[in-house]
Amino acid sequence: MLESLSGKVAWITGGGTGIGQAAAVALAQNGAAVILSGRRSAVLQQTAERIAAQGGAAFVETLDVSDAASVAAAAGRIMSRSGRIDILVNNAGTNVAERHWDRVTPEKWKEVIDVDLNGAFYCARAVLEIMRKQQDGLIINVSSWAGRFYTLLTGPAYSAAKHGLMAMNASINMEGCRDGIRACALCPGEVWTPIIDRRPDALAEDVKAKMLRSEDVAEAILFVARLPKTVCINEMIISPTWNRGYIAELAP
């Protein structure tokens, strides 16, 4: 049976837009107090105000997840305010336009790895000891279809980061299971979010319309969050029915 999130505290990175925003709204609507993190305080505040207008509880903790010291300090402030962290949604992510080996530079590689992989590690590390003490905790790592399957579309840096995130997720379950800690690697296919427009190839509106919506992925996050602590969804793959990867393979 799915459980209530009343009394739970959820920390969402990349919480100002896209999947993070939709997940924060869904978790708050189901009783969780949410902490919204990201680099842009204005969009985080807009999300917090939207949640508050619906009767939910939301707090803003502006943060660059690629800064390990800032992540640790933010976790400390959350604990001072809320006294616990039950759910971490590692959602902050980025990609670059330089997505092929003849264009990607060390600087662009580092830009992606620092956020998509290192940032997730810093946040997970910041909450794991808290969750051990609680003997309860859930980490949802928003990976990608590109974290489970190899694809040229997302580029080497993003694909490497998301594959690394899958390994990190598995290691959390291996070491955390005795302490009531579970991790879920959520692997969405194409989602129509602002990051889509950072692609080097412009997408037609009818193509975007067939993609997943942020709210679709948020529903998956909510489902995982409401499961009993005795249940671990190690990985979840969710894709658009009209999957461009499949369509390309079927093309004559």
Top pLDDT among 56 and 247 is at 56
Question: What is residue 252's predicted lDDT score, i.e. its pLDDT?
Answer: 59
Residue 198: pLDDT over 80 = no
Distance CA 9, CA 79 (A): 10
| Residues 83-137 pLDDT 10s | 999 999 999 999 999 989 999 999 999 999 999 999 999 999 999 999 999 999 9
Top pLDDT among 57 and 248 is at 57
Question: Can you tell me the mean pLDDT for 39-49?
Answer: 97
Three-state DSSP string of the chain = CCCCCCCCEEEEECCCCHHHHHHHHHHHHCCCEEEEEECCHHHHHHHHHHHHHCCCEEEEEECCCCCHHHHHHHHHHHHHHHCCCCEEEECCCCCCCCCCCCCCCHHHHHHHHHHHHHHHHHHHHHHHHHHHHHCCEEEEEECCHHHHCCCCCCCHHHHHHHHHHHHHHHHHHHHHHHHCEEEEEEEECCECCHHHHHCCCCCCHHHHCCCECHHHHHHHHHHHHCCCCCCCCCEEEECCCCCHHHHHHHCC
Residue 197: pLDDT over 80 = no
Asked which of 89-98, 101-110, 164-173, 203-212 is least confident by mean pLDDT, the reply is: 203-212
Question: What is residue 204's predicted lDDT score, i.e. its pLDDT?
Answer: 79
Q: Mean pLDDT, the chain, as a whole number? A: 95
Partner residues linked to 61 by β-bridges? 37
Question: What is residue 199's predicted lDDT score, i.e. its pLDDT?
Answer: 65
50 to 5, 26, 184, 220, 222: CA distances (angstroms)? 19, 12, 27, 21, 18
Question: What is residue 164's predicted lDDT score, i.e. its pLDDT?
Answer: 98
Residue 150: pLDDT over 80 = yes
- Residue 117: both structure tokens together: 């992989």
Residue 147: pLDDT over 90 = yes
Question: What is residue 209's predicted lDDT score, i.e. its pLDDT?
Answer: 86
The set of catalytic residues is 158
Question: Can you tell me the mean pLDDT for 139-161?
Answer: 95
Residue 1: pLDDT over 90 = no
CATH number of 9-250: 3.40.50.720
Q: How many other C-beta atoms are found inside a 10 Å radius of the C-beta of residue 112? A: 26
